[in-house]
Structures are given as structure tokens and as C-alpha cells.
Structure 1
Amino acid sequence: MSDAPSQQPGPDRSRPRPGLLRSSALVGAMTMLSRVLGLIRDIVIAATVGASAYADAFFVAFKIPNFLRRLFAEGAFAQAFVPVLADYRERGSAAAVRELLNRVAGVLGGTLVMVTAVAVVAAPLVAGLFAPGFVDDPGKFRATTDMVRITFPYLALISMTGLCGAILNSYGRFAVPAFTPVFLNLSLIGAAILAAPHFAEPVYALAWGVMIAGVVQLLFQLPFLYRLDLVPRPVWDTRDAGVRRILKLMVPALFGVSVSQLNLLLDTVLASFLPTGSVSWLYYSDRLAELPLGVFGIAVATVILPSLSAHRAAARSEDFTLTLDWAVRMILLVAVPAAVALVVLAEPILVTLFQYGELGARDVRMASYSLQAYSLGLIAFMLIKVLAPGYYARQDMVTPVKIGIRAMVANMVLNLLFVVPLYIYFNLGHVGLALATSASAWLNAVLLLRGLLREGVFRFQPGWGRFVLRLLVATGLMALVAAVLVPGVDQLQAMTWPLRALWIGLVCAGGGLAYLLAQLALGTRLAQLRTPRASSAVE
């Protein structure tokens, strides 16, 4: 098969694409449902296992499949696969597309099965790789090893789910992949509530819940692919031109698009050497920082990649540039107020969500420090999500890799500079890890933006001055309202759970309303946020 099949295009190309704003809102809504359930999941987990040694062991075992979920379902695989699929759809027939999908599914699935089998057998090595600090604690290390064996098959399942999701996204079916993570949260909630009481160590029930979720998520997407007549029939063929092209793009993308996640994973490795609870504190704070990133950052990145790939395939350079400019503005509209809100409300939110059962006041306070540190990098994390597709849609995998290497090295150096003094003098080594991750994310985002500007792929469109002014004023007003309305931590701790939730809900609603009204008063209108056209720049 040639790289660009010359047969007549399939009928799917005639289907108009929905607007980016509408698609982003749809994905965001589905993802919001998943993230809300994710918060409920983490509340249940915190009450069940707290920040104990066994909790640390589970979070390490869970971090591995969760990392691969981001790598494949939201990251490197999609970045490499979607542009190639766009070329086949633009220039090839429906039969050529199906042939590509069959061979990609065969090579990916076969490779994952082999990797999973090796990892299950070598689980102690995997546990030692991801949590070397646990080796000196036989009980914690044994628990981590056992749970790695249970959770590792999830990697193969969720990676194939990522393939199905990338296909659906390419055909404009964004809601199904965005809804799929709901089943992971439901599975873990069910495992914690229903199964955990029957285990000597409740965390083992959670590990089984992870693997069951992988099966359910994959099966859920297959009927929707069947309706498109696109269910892959795996064929092992590593010599296929399309497969080779995807692999060539994917190898560097595995690193380049996932630097932020690799840095977070490095945090977990280093945290395993810190006092018990450090891994859990980072997990709970990372989960809250991930909320705006997952709901909106990944939503925008998900919908722009197929559009950017299509613009590139059809040589619509002006539409490509306008789409990137639109994506950056949409990200900043959410990322800036979200980052400020998490800094201001870190401990009150954590108290409201997690300080029950096994998780104590000290755990919440320690997690709030790392949450504030992660929040300082939230804008950068979200910008990376939309700037990287500017390279991958053009099948430029080399530049992000070079930038990613620089960011990774910077993170390692900053870890040494931040962690050691914070641990020695304040016993806050985990905060140093979060600060280093945020700083390296900023370096990554700035270098990605600079590269796009130099190549002329991204250009600031008219109206940026007014946009930034509105954003800063509205965010400042939001922060002021939230700081005035939020009660003290001692007051919150004295409240019942429903009252805590109501009060924090009112604080968030008040701050959000202040932000929205300020934007409207300063002249922001919904029409200015719609998908840009080549004939008119975003206001």
C-alpha cells in the first residue's frame, strides 16, 4: 500500500465537521461528567485507604496504566495516528482506510499483548522501576508488585480503547471517547464500596477495579465503530506503509507529547524516597489540578487535531493558523482563572472533598501545598496540549522531542534544587517535585510557542491586547470575590460534609459569576469565541 492511496475518496468526506466550539463544549461536557465522577471516586478512595503505605502502593500501581491512558488515548498515539488517517481519508477510499485500521490494530494489539505478558512476569522489576524507594520496605514493595500484576493488563485494554477513540474522533464522534472514562470511575467506586470490605487489604479491590474497567471501556466503543463499519479486524503486518509511517511518527511523539506526564511520573519515582504519604499527597493534588486540564485542555486539543490535520492535508494554511490562535485563546480563558482559583482555594477545596475517614488534616494540608505548586504550572500544562498538535498535525515530530528533552533535563535539575532544601528545612520535599514539574512545563510551552511563531505557523491575530486586558481584570475580580467569601479552614473542618460542599460550591459559583459578568461587561461576546474562518479573524 502506498502512503497516499489514489483511489476515489470515501463518502465520509462529504460529511461537514461540527464547529470547534460546539465540539469542544460537547467533549468538555462529557469529560466534566467523567471528572465529577473521578472526584467522587477519589473521595471514596481517600476515605477507604487514606494516605497509608498501602495507599502509596496502589497509587504507584495505578499510575502506570493511567500514564499509558494519557500517552495513548490523549497523547502520542493519537498525535501520530490521526494525521495519517486524515491523509487516507482525504486521498484514499473507504476500503483503504479499513485496511489501514486492520493493520494498525494488529500491530498495536499484538505488541501490547507481548509487553503485558513480559511485565506481569517481571512485576518486581516494574515495581522497582517506578517506585525504587519502596524496595527497602518489604511490605509496601510486595503490595506494589502484586497490584502491578493486577493492573498492568489494563495498559493493553486502554491502549486499544485509545485506538478506537482516535478513529471515532477523526469521524467527528467526539462524545463517545470523552464519555468512556466514566466507566473507570464507576468501576473504582463500585470496587471501593462493594468489594473492598471483603478484602483483607481494601486496596486490592481497587486494583481489580482498574482491570475490569479496561474491559468495559473497550467493549463500550465497539458498537459505535460497528455503525461506521470501522471495527478493526487485526492483521499483523509491520511492513505495511501506513503502519510504518505511524510508527515513525509515534516513536518521537511518545516522548515529545508526554513530557508533562513523564515529569509527573518522575515525581512519583522520587516521592517513593520521601516520607510515607508523599505519593498520596501528590496524587490528590494532581487530581484537582487535572480537573480543568482534563475537562477543557484535553477537550480543545482533541477536537483541533483532526481539524488541523485536515487543514494541513488540504493545504489550507490560513485556516490552520486561525485554528491554533482560537485554541490558545480558548485555553487561556479557562486556564488563567482556574489556576488562580486553585491557588486561592487549595486547602478549602481539599478539606471539603477529601478530609474524611482515613485522610487526616495533616494529609490535606500537605496536599494543598503541592496543589498550589501544580497550579502555578496549570496554564503551561494546558497550553502544551494545544501547541503540540501544531507540530504533529504537520507530522513534525522532531521539534517537540528536542523541546521535550530540554524540559525533561530542566525538570531533573530543578528537582535537585527544590526538593533537597524543602525536604531538609521544611519536610516539604513533595512540594519541590510539584514546583519543578510546573517550571519545566512553562519551559516546554514557551519553546513550543516560539517554534510555531518562528515557522509562521502560528500568528497572533488582531484583538489580543483587548483579550488579555479582559482576562486579567475578570480573573482579578474572581480571585477577590473568592477570597472574601471562602471561610477559614478551621470553620470548614467544624462543618458537616453537606454544609462544607454547599459553602465551597457557593464560593466557586460566586467567583465564577464574577468572572463571567466581568467578561461580559468588558465586551466579550459568544460570537467572538466561535470557530474562526479564513475570511475573518477572531475579535
Structure 2
Amino acid sequence: MSDTSTRNLARATAYIMAAYLASRVLGFLRESLVADFFGRKGLTDAYNTAYILPDLIYWLMVGGVLSAAFIPVLSEYIAKGKQEEGWRVVSSVINIIFLALSCLIILGLIFTPQFVRMEVPGFPPATTVLTVHVTRILLIQPLFMALSGLTMGILNAHKVFWPSALGTVLYNACIIVFGTLFVKMGAGISGFAFGVVIGAAANFAVQVPALRRLNMRYYPIIDWHHPGVRRIAVLAVPIVLSYSLNQFQVLINSHLGSSLPAGSLTALWQSYRLFQLPVGIFAMSVAVAVFPTLTEQAAIEQWDQFRRTSSAAVRTVIFITMPISIGMMVLRFPLIRVLFQHGAFKAADTAATAFPLLFFGFGIVAQSVIQILPRMFYALKDTWTPVVLGVVSMAVDIVMMIVLVGPLQQGGLAFATAISAIVNMLLLLYWLRRKVGTIDGRRLASTGGKSLLASLVMGGIVWGWSAWLSGHLGFGTIASILVLVSGSALGAVVFGVLAKLMRMEELTQVMGLAERRLKLRAAH
């Protein structure tokens, strides 16, 4: 990559990472409020389960299509200077998606009770009724999320990232404000569902001005015969199939979890969101920023730069998330106490949530890396390989869930997810090497090995420190904050020193990224 490209990519990554960090912080404030109001029980199990059907509809119609087909094809038109033709393709795809999405939402509203009973047969009748009610409220969300998702795809293809990143911040902020307001007005946990709908609408609205500045042209057409539309359809088919199969995996998870004691699914979902925290802030930021560049490099056949860009992205993600995964496993109790243990959320709920988080921790690095690897295939216009490998990993997940749920309960469901992520990462790396010839494997292995060694040493030191400090301060909120903050700071210093001693080039890259971000903030 050229110096200019590197700077632009670093700037984009920094903006996205900052916005995702703010969004995730607000997201956990939102979860903290839900825990404070309602604790961990059947009520929150219903609320968390209600997201599954709306999320399924969104990812089937928009999410997978965006990452695998929409952005690569549109980026190719932009790279070749065919803007006008690209807008006609965009218009056709948008119209097709919204027709199909509307039909799915109507069907979802009609058959919500049947879907919920199939998904969580172990729920008591009252919990099932509440799940149906909240699901129907949330089914309005995919319409707005589709608008914001497609807008994000158009902006990202033009390498404009900040509006969609800002939208995610506004999304969580609206849920907090309006959810709390509706709960105070007596809406119960449904109040947060209404907040989600308002947040999704705000997420789209904040991106519209940037979209207008691109001089987007919209045409009320559906041109099935256009080669660009057909190419998107061909690329999207395996992704739609993949998400359909993945939903079967989610159904198995919910099915097994619904028979566990009340609140088990809430503990699993809360720990899963913590598991996704580093993935969403760091890995997703790098993946979103690097994807248009990978697509452009593949479109004009700059293969050496494609490999260098890919390797740098994966190594950076490993370097960042490895110490975070170990640190999260070691500091999981004070982390959960600080985030959730107040109001109706008690010490027993903390223990129940910390248990699956321990097992999720084993899969954080793999889950982070697989935010990037499939996008490398997508940039090469290959959407089938990640799908086939994902199906194999899904089969591993289902088998492991069935095997582990008995002895480990919600911890077994979490461990199965971590094992599946590791299998998926290894399969993707193997097939990617076969496809592009080399994936800079030695440097990837070196980064992984050194990061693991430094993280394990760091984890041992942080564990000793946190145990000693907790023994003196106790386990209250203030004590947990001190343990969490001091343990995180100590871990960062120890890992940084060890990385410096091992001469890891990723340390220089990450420090450079942070320095550029600080300069950007100072300039503004």
C-alpha cells in the first residue's frame, strides 16, 4: 500500500473505532439499565429472545447482501468510473430488497406466536406471551435498519465512514433515553423495545445528509436483467443460505437454553455481548475500513498489495484482541459487577453471567479474525467458500452445544460458540492460502505466538494483582471499579513492555494509529 493509502486507511479505522467504542459503551449502559430495572429472570429472557426474529429478517435481506455483494460490486463501478451505472444498480437492489423485506415483516407479524413456540418451547406460558408481544414491536426495526444499512453500504463504497459510525452511537443513545422514559411511564420492558425502533430510525436519519452530498441518483426501477444486479444476486445467494442455516444454530441455542433455569438465557446473552465488545470495537472497525480497499485492489488486480493489506489487518486484530481476551477472562467478575450488579441484578446474577464469559473468552481472537477473513473472499468475488466453511463450523457448534449443555449449562453453550469460531478461523485461513497462494503465514504465526505468550504472562500478573487488591478492598462497586481500572492499566503496561522487548512491529502500528487519532482530535 502507498503511504497515502495507509494514512487514509488508518484515519478511517481511527474514526470508526472511536465511534464504535462510544456506541459499545452506550450499549452497555443500555444493558446496565435493563439489568437495573429488571435483573436476570424470565422477563429479561423474553426481551433478549425477542430480538432473534427481527435480526434474522434483517441479516437475511440486508446484512449479508451488504458485506458480500452490494459493497464489492458498487466499489467496482466506482473504481472503474461508472458512477451513473452504479446508481441504477443501487436503485434496483434497494427496490428489490424493500419489496422482499416488507413481505417478510408481514409474515413475521402474523406467525410470531408459532415462531416463538418453536424457538423456546421450554418457556413458561407468561414468558412466551411477553416474548411474542416484544417481538412484534421489534419487527418494525428491520425497515429502518435496512435503510441505514443500505445507506452505510453506499457511503462505505465511497470510503465515507463517519456517518454510519455516528449512527450506531445515536442508535444506542436513543434506546437509553426513550427506553428509560417509556419504562418510567409504565410500559415495562416493552419500553426498551420502542426505544430500539426510535433508535433505528435515528440511525438512518443521521446518515441522510452525507448521502445527499454524494449526489446519489435514485430510480424507481427493478432491472433484473442488468449485469450488476444479477452479479449482486449471484453473490448474495450463498450468504442468504448461510444466514438461514446460521439461524438454525441460534434456534438450537435458544431451544436448549429455554429449558435451563429462568435467567440462564439472559446470563448467556449478557456474557455474549461482552464477548462481542472487542470484536465490535476493534475487529469490526478494521474490517469495515479495510474492505473497500481490498475490493478495489482485487478489482484492479493489485495482488501484492492485497496480500499486504490483508496480512496487516489480521495481524493488527490478533495483536489487539489477544490481551483483551485474557484480560477479560481474568477480570470478568469485577467487569460484570461494575456493568450490571446494581438494582435488581444481584451477586448470584454476576456469578451466573461470569461463568459463560469465561468460556466465551477462548474464542474472542478467532471471532475477531473471522470478521476480516470472509471479506477477503468477498473482495475476490467468492461468496461460496466462506459459506461452506461456515456450515462446517456451524455443525461443530451444534454438536458441541448438545454435548456441553448438560455438564456446563449456559457455559457449555458459550464454549461451543468459542470452539466453532476457532474451527471457522482455521478453515478460512487454510482455504485462503489455497486460493491466493500465500497469506504471509509466518508473520501471522509469529504475531499470534508472541501475542499469546505476552498475554499469558500479563494475565498471570493481573490475576495476582486483582486477587491481592480484592482481598484488601472487598467486592463492592467502588472496589470493583478500582480493581478493574488498575488491573486493565497494569495489563496494558505489561503487555506493551513485553511486546516492545519482543520487537513486535504491530506495537508500532497500533501506537502510530493512536498517535494519528490524537493528532486528528487536536487538529479539530
Q: Deviations over 1:317-345 (max 9, x none)?
A: 11111111111101110121111112211
Q: Does 1:104 align with 2:93?
A: yes
Letter in 2 for 1:171: H
d(CA) in 1 for partners of 2:509 and 2:397?
A: 37
- Which residue pairs with 1:193 in the alignment? 180
d(CA) in 1 for partners of 2:320 and 2:473?
A: 29
Return the structure number with greater helix share. Answer: 2
d(CA) in 2 for partners of 1:280 and 1:161?
A: 28
- Which residue pairs with 1:212 in the alignment? 198
Letter in 2 for 1:23: A
Q: Deviations over 1:401-423 (max 9, x none)?
A: 21111111111111121112x1x
d(CA) in 2 for partners of 1:505 and 1:262?
A: 39
Q: Does 1:304 align with 2:304?
A: no
d(CA) in 1 for partners of 2:104 and 2:404?
A: 35
d(CA) in 2 for partners of 1:87 and 1:494?
A: 58
Q: 1:57 aligns with which of 34, 46, 50?
A: 46
Q: Does 1:161 align with 2:141?
A: no
SS in 2 for 1:172: coil
The aligned runs of 1:382-393 (5 Å cut-off) are: 382-393=368-379
Q: Deviations over 1:320-379 (max 9, x none)?
A: 111111111011101211111122112221122111111121221111110111111111
The aligned runs of 1:281-360 (5 Å cut-off) are: 281-360=267-346
d(CA) in 1 for partners of 2:245 and 2:290?
A: 20
1:489: Cα distance to partner?
10
Q: Deviations over 1:113-135 (max 9, x none)?
A: 2211221122212323433333x
d(CA) in 1 for partners of 2:107 and 2:34?
A: 29
- Is the 1:76–1:257 contact (alpha carbons within 8 Å) kept by the matching residues of 2? no
Q: 1:31 aligns with which of 16, 20, 24?
A: 20
Letter in 1 for 2:301: A
Q: Does 1:180 align with 2:160?
A: no
Letter in 2 for 1:205: G
SS in 2 for 1:180: helix
- Is the 1:133–1:269 contact (alpha carbons within 8 Å) kept by the matching residues of 2? yes
d(CA) in 1 for partners of 2:102 and 2:473?
A: 48
C-alpha spacing 1:485/1:402, structure 2 compared with 1 (3 Å):
same
1:433: Cα distance to partner?
0.9
1:513: Cα distance to partner?
1.9
- Is the 2:473–2:479 contact (alpha carbons within 8 Å) kept by the matching residues of 1? no
Q: Does 1:152 align with 2:152?
A: no
Q: 2:392 aligns with which of 406, 410, 414?
A: 406
d(CA) in 2 for partners of 1:216 and 1:335?
A: 31
C-alpha spacing 1:172/1:66, structure 2 compared with 1 (3 Å):
same
SS in 2 for 1:235: coil
Letter in 2 for 1:358: A
Q: 2:33 aligns with which of 41, 44, 59?
A: 44
The aligned runs of 1:113-132 (5 Å cut-off) are: 113-132=102-121
Greater mean deviation of Cα atoms: 65-74 or 175-184: 65-74
C-alpha spacing 1:264/1:492, structure 2 compared with 1 (3 Å):
farther
- Which residue pairs with 2:84 in the alignment? 95
1:462: Cα distance to partner?
6.3
d(CA) in 2 for partners of 1:124 and 1:493?
A: 49
1:154: Cα distance to partner?
0.6
Q: Which runs of 5+ in 2 are unaligned?
A: 514-524
- Which residue pairs with 2:347 in the alignment? 361
C-alpha spacing 1:440/1:524, structure 2 compared with 1 (3 Å):
closer
Q: Deviations over 1:174-211 (max 9, x none)?
A: 122122111221122123432202225x2110111111
1:22: Cα distance to partner?
3.0
Q: Does 1:82 align with 2:71?
A: yes
d(CA) in 1 for partners of 2:330 and 2:437?
A: 36
d(CA) in 2 for partners of 1:470 and 1:258?
A: 38
- Which residue pairs with 2:361 in the alignment? 375
The aligned runs of 1:433-472 (5 Å cut-off) are: 433-460=413-440, 463=443, 467-468=447-448, 470-472=450-452
d(CA) in 2 for partners of 1:117 and 1:103?
A: 22
Letter in 2 for 1:306: P
1:500: Cα distance to partner?
2.8
SS in 1 for 2:367: helix
Letter in 2 for 1:293: V
Q: Does 1:431 align with 2:420?
A: no
- Is the 2:257–2:410 contact (alpha carbons within 8 Å) kept by the matching residues of 1? yes
- Is the 1:482–1:511 contact (alpha carbons within 8 Å) kept by the matching residues of 2? yes
- Is the 1:105–1:234 contact (alpha carbons within 8 Å) kept by the matching residues of 2? no
SS in 2 for 1:51: coil
SS in 2 for 1:275: coil
C-alpha spacing 1:489/1:147, structure 2 compared with 1 (3 Å):
farther
- Is the 2:311–2:444 contact (alpha carbons within 8 Å) kept by the matching residues of 1? no
Greater mean deviation of Cα atoms: 190-199 or 232-241: 232-241
d(CA) in 2 for partners of 1:59 and 1:142?
A: 14
Please report the RMSD computed on the Cα atoms of aligned residues, expressed in angstroms: 2.7
